Amino acid sequence: MSEMETKIICITCPVGCSLVVTHEDQKVIKVEGNQCRKGIEYAQNELRDPRRMVTTTVKVKGGLHPLVPVYTSAPIPKPLIFELIKKLRGVELEAPVKVGQAILKDFLGTGVDVLAARDLPQVGQKTSETGSG
């Protein structure tokens, strides 16, 4: 197995460093171009097991809006993204929804939960996030 150079862009923060990763298959030998330590970790994960945070919406009955935004509590493996989206498409919640409420627990054994990203009051209910009566 010989050494290879792969160029990737770190997405950990808005800086977006261009990394040059020297590796043997999935084993990272050297990372260049990173401005912080997160770049090294990102490069390692990106070669071995690329993961992404996923944000989407799920349906809500009787809420201020017909949808509530949700997010994964940690990045999930890239190949599972569409499976998660499909699973969440079948979910329908009842308002009110509380921020941080678990919509889905331990998705496919990854240990990652899907959480509500905001409070969504019932129609006609007053909460901190709305002035709406």
Partner 1 sequence: MSLDRVKPIYDVVVIGSGPGGLGAAIAAKKNGADDVLIIERDNELGGILVQCIHNGFGVEIFKEDLPGPLYAHRFIQEANSLGVEVLSDTMVLDITPLRKITAVGKRAGFVELEARAIVLAMGCRERTRAQIRIPGTRPAGIYTAGTAQRFVNVEGYMPGNRFVILGSGDIGMIMARRLTLEGAKVERVLEIMPFLTGLTRNYVQCLLDYNIPLELRHTVSRILGNYRVEAVEAVEVDENWNPIPGTEEIIPCDTLLLSVGLIPENELSRKAGVILDPNTGGPVVDESMQTSVSGIFAAGNVVHVYDLVDWVTEAGFIAGKSAAKYAVEMKKGISRQVKLVAGANVRYIVPQYLDSESLAESDQRIQLRVVRPIEEKVWVEVTDGEHLITRKLERYVRPGEIVTIKIPKKAYDEVQKADKLVVRVTRS
Interface with partner 1 includes 36 (CB under 8 A)?
no
For partner 1 (CB under 8 A), the number of binding residues is 35
Q: Interface with partner 1 by CB under 8 A: which range of 26-34, 49-57, 102-110?
A: 49-57
Least Å distance, CB 13 to partner 1, is 5
Distance CA 75, CA 12 (A): 11
CA distances from 9 to 3, 35, 92 (A): 19, 12, 36
Interface with partner 1 includes 18 (CB under 8 A)?
yes
Distance CA 84, CA 52 (A): 12
Residue whose structure tokens are 């990272």: 28
Interface mask toward partner 1 for 75-114; x: CB under 8 A: ---x--xx--x-------------x---------------
User: Do residues 31 and 19 touch, judged by C-beta distance below 8 A?
Assistant: yes
Least Å distance, CB 1 to partner 1, is 26
Q: Interface with partner 1 by CB under 8 A: which range of 26-34, 67-75, 106-114?
A: 67-75
Interface with partner 1 includes 16 (CB under 8 A)?
yes
* Phi-psi category of residue 14: left, alpha or beta, with phi > 0 → left and psi -120 to 50 → alpha: alpha
Please identify which residue in 22, 59, 87, 110 interacts with partner 1, judged by CB under 8 A: 59
* Phi-psi category of residue 17: left, alpha or beta, with phi > 0 → left and psi -120 to 50 → alpha: beta
Neighbouring CB atoms inside 10 A of 114's CB total 25
Residues forming contacts to partner 1 in the complex (CB under 8 A) are: 8-11, 13-14, 16, 18, 52-53, 55-57, 59, 64-67, 69, 71, 78, 81-82, 85, 99, 117-119, 126, 128-133
